[in-house]
Structure 1
């Protein structure tokens, strides 16, 4: 019999906590069942297997990241909004490493719910970019560049990729300032790239 109060939402939240504590790759139905105090087969009343459980963790992470970005950028525009978004992004990745790892794969095109939830962080970043005059025609390119830079830094940081003594916060700040400058001149760069 399932533990009292066990619901699909509770299962996803417990799975997310397990991922943050032990790593996304450590998530199995057996490890989660042990954590919530049920037999592994009982989890099938709340989730359709490991793939679905990993999807649920990713959706939870996407929604939380969107909220973190939204909360950080509300009332800001341009460079201050970008700096706040970058800090929120790094902060989320540090606070929730397992959930962050879960949301690194794009959702399947036929998964409408996942597509909708994944649009949350993207819409916040697109709004930030509009503050630099970057419209919808260039937003995907700019977001890909920003995400690649921020993700590369937080991934290397989380995995011990920076061993030199220089301050990591300063390095991250310089990375973000590089994006501020890039986005301030984005229209000129995009025009030159389009001519190539």
Structure 2
């Protein structure tokens, strides 16, 4: 069976992203994709390797988009200003792309070379943001893990409606990032 003209992997991934962001990642199925694209489910298999292939492509797409948005946010900035901008861009991405963001959290994707490359590109961006602290590579990895945990935790709790008190979330994010960076500065002084 030949592929449908006009249907390609980027179209499938963008459609999956739309479904994930509006209905949730669990709503991304071959049936919902084919219905949204106006085709029969078997036609999708001419372009992509089943649902696992869709979710892998969605994860890669999400990491690329996040990397692009974070790179744009930090353009021309250095040091703590760049870290603040990157953190805010990360949260903004998760807010505006909740389903795609969820897809970026590793699972089976870790064994895929393209997923690894895009993940390493994002990791490299964040390590470069921390360059002004002159951290050894191993310590930089630990610091990046901490930052990612902080940002992921914040965005996950926000997405689940866990911040119910009437205080501005962006102010909370700013304070958390200030505290985190203050800890890194203190660590660098003490070493």
TM-score, normalised on structure 2? Answer: 0.93
Alignment partner of 2:135: what SS? coil
1:40-93 C-alpha deviation (Å, 9 max, x unpaired): 111001110101110000000000111111111121111100110011001100
Query: In structure 2, how many angstroms separate the alpha carbons of the residues matched to 1:39 and 1:27?
Result: 15
Shift of 1:178: 1.0
Q: Which residue in 1 is equivalent to 2:6?
A: 5
Equivalent residue runs for 1:66-145 within 5 Å: 66-105=67-106, 108-145=109-146
Q: Distance in 2 between matches of 1:122 and 1:37?
A: 38
The C-alpha deviation readout for 1:110-134, integer Å capped at 9, x for no partner, is 4211110111211110001112222
Aligned to 1:154: 155
In structure 1, the gaps of 5 or more residues are 192-196
RMSD of aligned Cα (Å): 1.7
Matches within 5 A, 1:156-195: 156-187=157-188
Q: Judge conservation of contact 1:129–1:183 (CA < 8 Å) in 2.
A: no
Deviation (angstroms), 1:165: 1.1
Residue 47 in 1 paired to residue 37 in 2? Answer: no
Distance 1:186 1:106 in 2: 32
Matched with 1:56 is 57
Distance in 2 separating the partners of 1:103 and 1:86? 16
Q: Residue 31 of structure 2 corresponds to which residue in structure 1? A: 30
Shift of 1:138: 1.1
TM-score by length of 1: 0.91
Aligned length: 190
Q: Structure 2 unaligned segments of length 5 or more: list them.
A: none
Distance between the aligned counterparts of 2:154 and 2:24, measured in 1? Answer: 18
Distance 1:64 1:107, change over 3 A: farther
Q: Retained in 2: the 8 A contact 1:19–1:98?
A: yes
Shift in alpha-carbon separation, 1:16–1:109, aligned structure 2, 3 A: closer
